[in-house]
Chain A
Amino acid sequence: MISARNPMKDKVAIAAAATTGFTAQNTERSQLSLGAEACIKAIRACGLTASDTDGICGSAVPAAAMQSALGIPEVTWFANPSIPFGNQIAAAAAAVHAGLAEVVLAYHTPYRLPWNTSGALKDPFRRGGMTMPGAGAVPETVAGVAGYTAWAARYLHEYDARREHFGYVAINDRSNAARNPAAAMRAPLDMDDYLAARMIRWPLSMLDMDVAVDGADAFIITTPERARDMALPPVLIQAVVLGMIDRNEEDQTPGLHRHGQHVVVEALKARSDFWTDGMDLFFPYDGFSFITLAWIESVGLCGPGEAGGFIEANWDQAAKRILIDGHIPVNPHGGSLSEGGSQGSGHVREAVHQLQGLAGERQVEGARTALLTPGGFFFNAQGLTLRRA
């Protein structure tokens, strides 16, 4: 059952977003070190101190470790939801709205670990690291990282789609990352490079997969009233959805026509005042290139199987990137494929910066609304609508 009820609409604000920037190399720093840096930046950007924070919500680094490291005197609420980052936003926003905490520090620490890059094994301090449960231990599975590859193959089979359509997503991200100093991968990319990239699991290659990075993002989430007294323009959370269907295992999910994204779209649309015709910015998830095509179709910008053609019709040839209707960029920070695999935190941070007018040379003039769809199909499809207050 999908309800349109949304008592939290516009009642919670993101007051600030901050990042360490991302690098596709093993830094000589811990996740906690990177996370703490981003948290301090976010707190300072609001003009706050540690003692102003009364809630903590993070990813891999336990909230307890982050509170202790930052010396936050007391919190009345904390949580460590799983990624993608829509989970952290949803949990923090609900906590603020319910009064469990008033000023929540939310963070994510993307980190190069053995499950996402074998290069992490060179560092003795990374060998433990988090693993992806149930995935990758035997070859004969499409659980975990192979899941989107499998449905990408199905997409090529069902529709008049080509690998070049995946390539547009990679090229768009790379062209956008060139304007983002925080991005890990900024060297120009063209279709020949894309098609020549090393195949990992056919039909997806190196350039279809997010880049494993070290870095961190952090956010301050609070009431609109408190946010208005802080240093930066508040960004209101209009609606947030974490969508899932019953058959959510990678190989059992019904099909390209029915998975978590469809739940997200129906609920998010019903709970928001604007949709694609009213958005100034669009952040479809791109942990795998194919996921972006699926989101473009799921939100209704075009029909099933038509994302490649949609991109071609909205392609800025000179800038080698997507500009929907000539003015709406898609993942203007470079997304997971080029800024770095941040499981959605980079998308949220860029949306906040754009809506606050802080996006530098990437700034979309007068941007007031953003549609974000972090995550993929199975147990991680998410949606978020943000607007400038």
Chain B
Amino acid sequence: MVTDEALSAVFKGHSIDRDNVAHFRGRLERRLLINRCIDCGVWRHPPRPICSSCWSSRLEPTPVAGTGTIHLAIFLHQGPPAEGVDYATPYPVVTVELDEQPGLRFTSSVVGAPNETIAIGRRVRLDWIERAGTPLPVFRLAEGAGQ
């Protein structure tokens, strides 16, 4: 069990607070948890203390399937230092629209694919890698599927 005290050191570069701590604890177990409202069923990310659709405070950090479609894609030629990231090959950053709900998006990188194959509209699935010993949710291109 990682203490609250230690979480900020484990997730360097993220600001952990009461509202998003469950999401980050989920990552430690390689589970991508997104807040879902128990009362109205709406998903919302990043985590907030209330449901912005019905104002319920009964929110359940819920695992998502991890499948979705690339909605935004950029390639960093420079950026913050991070273990395993070498900007000599531009580093892809993608925002993926998750299948759970239109407009529900999660941003990370794509691994295991040449940059020229990473494009808006491509289908992806969630995978996990490690950075400095901490699980990091990333995406892989789904087999053969376009648009």
Listed in ascending order, the chain A residues whose CB lies under 8 Å from chain B are 133-134, 136-142, 146, 149-151, 153-154, 157, 198-203, 246-247, 249, 251-252, 254
Q: Are A203 and B108 in contact (CB under 8 A)?
A: no
The CA-CA distance from A318 to B122 in the complex, in Å, is: 43
Min CB distance A39 to B, Å, is 35
Nearest CB in chain A to that of B91: its residue = A139
Nearest CB in chain B to that of A154: its residue = B72
A/B interface sample: 18 pairs, CB < 8 A: A134-B15, A137-B14, A139-B79, A139-B80, A139-B91, A140-B136, A140-B138, A142-B93, A149-B74, A150-B73, A154-B71, A157-B120, A157-B121, A198-B77, A249-B46, A251-B95, A251-B107, A252-B45
Q: Are A153 and B107 in contact (CB under 8 A)?
A: no
Min CB distance B32 to A, Å, is 13
Q: Are B103 and A254 in contact (CB under 8 A)?
A: yes
The CA-CA distance from A153 to B70 in the complex, in Å, is: 12
Residues of B within 8 A of A146 (CB): 74, 76, 93
Q: Are A200 and B93 in contact (CB under 8 A)?
A: no
Residues of B within 8 A of A247 (CB): 103
Min CB distance A75 to B, Å, is 35
Q: Are B120 and A154 in contact (CB under 8 A)?
A: yes
Q: Are A153 and B13 in contact (CB under 8 A)?
A: no
Min CB distance A238 to B, Å, is 33
Min CB distance A83 to B, Å, is 21
Residues of B within 8 A of A142 (CB): 72, 74, 93, 95, 107
Min CB distance A350 to B, Å, is 31
Q: A153-B74, A202-B74 are in contact. Are A251 and B105 (CB under 8 A)?
A: yes
Q: Is B55 an interface residue (CB 8 A)?
A: no
Which residues of B81-104 are within 8 A (CB) of A? 82, 85, 90-91, 93, 95, 103-104
Q: A150-B72, A202-B90, A249-B46 are in contact. Are A141 and B52 (CB under 8 A)?
A: no
Q: Is B57 an interface residue (CB 8 A)?
A: no
Nearest CB in chain A to that of B45: its residue = A252
Q: Is B62 an interface residue (CB 8 A)?
A: no
Main secondary structure on B side of the interface with A? loop
The CA-CA distance from A136 to B106 in the complex, in Å, is: 16
The CA-CA distance from A201 to B60 in the complex, in Å, is: 35
Residues of A within 8 A of B85 (CB): 139
The CA-CA distance from A150 to B73 in the complex, in Å, is: 6
Q: Are A141 and B93 in contact (CB under 8 A)?
A: yes
The CA-CA distance from A151 to B14 in the complex, in Å, is: 23
Q: A139-B109, A157-B121, A252-B103 are in contact. Are A200 and B77 (CB under 8 A)?
A: yes
Q: Are A141 and B107 in contact (CB under 8 A)?
A: yes
Nearest CB in chain B to that of A136: its residue = B80
Listed in ascending order, the chain B residues whose CB lies under 8 Å from chain A are 12-15, 45-46, 52, 71-80, 82, 85, 90-91, 93, 95, 103-109, 119-121, 136, 138
Q: Are A140 and B107 in contact (CB under 8 A)?
A: yes
- Beyond the given A139-B82, A251-B95, could you list 17 further A-B residue pairs with CB under 8 A, ordered by the A residue number? A133-B15, A134-B15, A138-B13, A139-B76, A139-B91, A140-B107, A140-B109, A142-B95, A142-B107, A146-B76, A146-B93, A157-B121, A201-B77, A202-B77, A251-B107, A252-B45, A252-B104
Nearest CB in chain B to that of A246: its residue = B52
| Of B76, B82, B105, the contact of A201 (CB 8 Å cutoff) | B76
Q: Are B15 and A201 in contact (CB under 8 A)?
A: no
The CA-CA distance from A198 to B78 in the complex, in Å, is: 11
Q: Are A140 and B15 in contact (CB under 8 A)?
A: no
The CA-CA distance from A307 to B52 in the complex, in Å, is: 34
Q: Are B105 and A252 in contact (CB under 8 A)?
A: yes
The CA-CA distance from A199 to B91 in the complex, in Å, is: 12
Q: Are B95 and A150 in contact (CB under 8 A)?
A: yes
List the 7 shortest-distance A-B pairs measured between CB atoms, nearest first: A137-B13, A138-B13, A150-B72, A202-B75, A157-B120, A251-B95, A139-B79
Residues of A within 8 A of B103 (CB): 247, 252, 254
Q: Are B80 and A153 in contact (CB under 8 A)?
A: no
Nearest CB in chain A to that of B108: its residue = A140
Nearest CB in chain B to that of A138: its residue = B13
Residues of B within 8 A of A136 (CB): 79-80
The CA-CA distance from A249 to B46 in the complex, in Å, is: 8
| Of B72, B91, B136, B138, the contact of A153 (CB 8 Å cutoff) | B72
Min CB distance B107 to A, Å, is 5
Nearest CB in chain B to that of A156: its residue = B120
Min CB distance B119 to A, Å, is 8
Residues of B within 8 A of A202 (CB): 74-75, 77, 90
The CA-CA distance from A198 to B107 in the complex, in Å, is: 25
Min CB distance B82 to A, Å, is 5
The CA-CA distance from A142 to B71 in the complex, in Å, is: 12
The CA-CA distance from A268 to B22 in the complex, in Å, is: 41
Residues of A within 8 A of B138 (CB): 140
Nearest CB in chain B to that of A145: its residue = B79
Residues of B within 8 A of A141 (CB): 93, 107
